[in-house]
Structures are given as structure tokens and as C-alpha cells.
Amino acid sequence: DQQVKQNSPSLSVQEGRISILNCDYTNSMFDYFLWYKKYPAEGPTFLISISSIKDKNEDGRFTVFLNKSAKHLSLHIVPSQPGDSAVYFCAATWGNYQLIWGAGTKLIIKP
């Protein structure tokens, strides 16, 4: 039972354009959502998070949107840069406990 789903295994975006990565979840108990970025041979690195009491959180080029009624969140990266090429994971948690992860989306930024 996949509680967190990232339905796009990969995404290719032109440098300078907007990258939009999507994530769906099924468990309405989740109260905190995180995005991590992972480069090959490195551990996941925290990118941005959002609490369930908010619908948007912004940090520089990165914005996360949360639609609780649709159980959907998205990560927007604008403008996209070559260094953004990585695998992006969506994760969710409740009660400050374990993280439940999606399978990841590989983002490729084309020059």
C-alpha cells in the first residue's frame, strides 16, 4: 500500500524554465511534508517542507504547494538550473515519527 506516490519517474526541463514535481498521498493523518533531493552516491538532502496548516511555503527558487482536499503537493523550481538535476523525493510524516517516502522523480535539466 503506497501511501505516498510520485507518478512521474522522470522529468526533463529546459534550463531557465519552471520544473514542477508532483506528489500524491492517501493518508489524511499526515501533518508534515518534506522534499528531499538526492545526487548519486550521496544521501538525501533536505530541500523544503510544509506543514498541513499551510498551503504554500517558499524558499528562494523553491516553492511547495499543498492541496489537502486533493491530497496533492507539488514542488516548483524556478528558474531551473543545471545543478538541480537530481532525484527528488516527496516524504510525509505524522506525529514526528517515521517518514513515508515516494519512489522519487528524476529531474533532468537540459542546457
User: Would you mind telling me the total number of residues written for the chain in this entry?
Assistant: 111
Nearer to another protein, 13 or 48 (CB): 48
HEC letters along the chain:
CCCEECCCCEEEEECCCCEEEEEEECCCCCCEEEEEEECCCCCCEEEEEEECCCCEEEECCEEEEEECCCCEEEEEECCCCHHHCEEEEEEEECCCCCCEECCCEEEEEEC
Using the minimum distance from each CB to another protein, give the nearer residue, 14 or 51.
51
Pick 10 or 81: Cβ nearer another protein: 10
- Which one of 34, 64, 75, 86 is in contact with another protein (CB under 8 A)? 34
- Among residues 10, 14, 81, 98, which is the contact residue for another protein, using CB under 8 A? 98
64-93 residues near another protein, rule: CB under 8 A? 89, 91, 93
Q: By CB under 8 A, name the binding residues for another protein.
A: 4, 6, 32, 34, 36, 41-46, 49, 89, 91, 93, 96-104
